[in-house]
Structure 1
Amino acid sequence: MKREYTVIIERDEDGYYVADVPELHGCHTQATSLDELMSRVREAIELCREVQKPVRHRKQLIGVQRIAV
């Protein structure tokens, strides 16, 4: 069954793209290009879905905000 996931993408200090999938605890990956990252994050999601059991009270991501103080 297909399902949509939120993927947070950041770039680290070494220039790697880093992806985190908040809906799947511990599901993250990195790559040197965005194309490679998206391929790897799809694979990571599939693997995380295989090993994680559904949890009824899992947190749901509402949004990501930037704030300047």
Structure 2
Amino acid sequence: MPEPKYVIAMGACTITGGITVRGVDKFIPVDVYLPGCPPKPEAIIDAITKLRKKIIPKNLSNPKGQYLPTN
């Protein structure tokens, strides 16, 4: 199986592993943690925004730090 490029760990059981299993970060590197059971929609949007900030190269942002449109 190829490695994932970016990982968002969603949910309490994914992050901590619950009672029986270790968290997902013990097996693969996690870029953004998204707690909650289930995570709220606002938290999902926030996690995606955090991940975008990590993966968009700085040379694509304008001097004010805002991102250029992708469409």
| TM-score > 0.5 by shorter chain | no
Higher radius of gyration, 1 or 2? 2
Q: What is the TM-score when the length of structure 1 is the normalising length?
A: 0.32
Question: How does the TM-score come out when normalised to structure 2?
Answer: 0.31
Structure ranking higher in strand proportion: 1
Structure (1/2) with the larger helix percentage: 2
Greater relative CO, 1 or 2 (CA 8 Å, sep 6+): 2
